[in-house]
Amino acid sequence: MINFESPASGPVFMNEDKKKYCIGLGVTGGIAAYKAIEVLRLLQRAGCDVKVAMTSHAAEFIRPLTFRALSGHYVLVDDYDPGNPDPIAHINFSQSIDLFLVVPATANTLAKFANGIADDFVSSTYLASTAPVMVAPAMNSLMWDHPATRRNIERLKYDGVMFVEPVSGELACKTVGTGKLEDVENITAQVLEALGGAGANERVSDLTAESFLITVGGTREAIDPVRFITNHSSGKMGFAIAAAAFERGAKVTVVAASTSADAPSGPRIVRVESARDMYRAVISEIDGATVYVGAAAVSDYRPKNEAATKIKKKDMDEMTLELEKTDDILAEVANSRKNGQIIAGFAAETTNLIEYAREKLLKKDLDIVVANDITQEGAGFNTDTNIVTILTKGVDEPESLPLMSKRELADQIIDRIVKIRNAG
Ligand code: PMT
């Protein structure tokens, strides 16, 4: 529970340098803009310094002077305003804050953030900021539900933007639906929680002693020189883990089969095609790894005989492919595990999720199994989000996590790996 008492009697939120946290409050043009005033006051009461940036549309709803009087800082609306005391304000503003909070965030602002458009002070600040970003959207429910907005939200979650989801209620247009700004107390509580928790002001470097080996993507098993058997893996999940581990200080090698997602910069990428290639690459890299994560969708079977030339359809009306089992890479890594190696696998299931995942955990002697029920919307293949249950060796109760971006989930998985390491 967060206490919103005045700084004199309540908690004061300080960063590592023992200075007050500074929140950049972006206000964009919606009817809920007036509620940003209350958020500002609650954050100040919790001991934070608040600087405000507004879009010109927001300034139609609330005058910048109101925020200036309350915050004690010049309110930035337009970089080019001759009254602006700072000639490169969006850079200096974005670098001076510990968290950028946007209340309310309109559909238009989310679209700009998602696409890197920086044509006003708030969107330029977003693009120039290295601080964590939290948005509290508010809009008509039709706009909230529009596929374009949903796409932008998925993208932003993948990019690590934290959302204070709007709630259902009566909207400005007198209709009832989802799109109402969350209560200001809840918005403030989430900001303070983010500042207090890992990842808000600083990303911990807790993996400097670890070397991650991660498999990613879908293998391709050749039928002939033009055809292959594969699956829907995009590589998003595995690359997200690679990016998170790298950011937290680990040495990271990724063995990547076919992917449609962009590989993160930083980790070393070893490209492979088939399950056999992946097996060989993993076996040659595994000695140097302290943590192995099998996020790839590896084909369980491959054609027994790959045709040397293209199979011509005129030759036959029906065709039978004879398949043989591939090596189970994860099982092999676990079998020949070296002292201290932590081994995590995934389970992509359509039925009996927990039962099958537990079977993998025990049979293959893994430390963690991340189980995704790929029939759920927002989970599994080629989505920017995932919904998983994590099973950990020695822990009876599976841990079900809510829908979150694959990038957020990556940190959650790594947090559990760190816990296992710390437990010895
Ligand atoms: O790449 P995305 O589009 O982001 O999708 C993510 C994902 C759904 C691919 C990922 O989250 C996931 O679940 N990966 C594992 C998919 C899978 O093949 O599950 P499985 O239940 O068939 O395999 C279990 C485990 O054994 C996996 O860790 C797999 O990498 C490993 N395995 C499987 C077969 C094999 N021959 N060798 C293996 O190492």
Among the candidates 194, 229, 264, a domain finishes at: 194
Distances (CA, A) of 187 to 56, 104, 193, 196, 339: 23, 10, 10, 14, 45
**pTM summary value:** 0.62
The residue from 65, 88, 127, 173 that is catalytic is 173
Ligand 1, atom nearest to 326 Cα: 36
312 falls within a domain: no
203 falls within a domain: no
Residue carrying the six token digits 């192995």: 292
At 122 the pLDDT is 96
Please give the tally of structural domains in the chain.
Answer: 2
Q: Is 219 in the pocket of ligand 1 (CB under 6 A)?
A: no
272 falls within a domain: yes
Residues 239 and 384 in one domain: yes
The domain containing residue 121 runs over which residues? 22-194
Residues 148 and 273 in one domain: no
Residues 174 and 235 in one domain: no
At 192 the pLDDT is 87
Distances (CA, A) of 16 to 8, 191, 196, 201: 20, 17, 11, 9
Q: Is 27 in the pocket of ligand 1 (CB under 6 A)?
A: no
At 15 the pLDDT is 61
Residue nearest to atom 16 of ligand 1 (CA): 297
16 falls within a domain: no
CA distance 323 to 305: 8
Residue 322 is inside which H or E element, if any? none
Ligand 1, atom nearest to 364 Cα: 26
Instruction: List the chain residues with pLDDT less than 70.
Output: 1-19, 197-204
Residues 230 and 143 in one domain: no
CA distance 405 to 187: 20
Q: Does residue 22 have an active-site annotation? A: no
Q: Is 254 in the pocket of ligand 1 (CB under 6 A)?
A: no
* Residue spans of beta strands (DSSP E) within 226-354: 227-229, 251-256, 268-271, 291-294, 301-303, 323-325, 342-349
Domain at 345, CATH number = 3.40.50.10300
Domain at 139, CATH number = 3.40.50.1950
Residues 126 and 177 in one domain: yes
5 falls within a domain: no
At 40 the pLDDT is 96
Residues 29 and 170 in one domain: yes
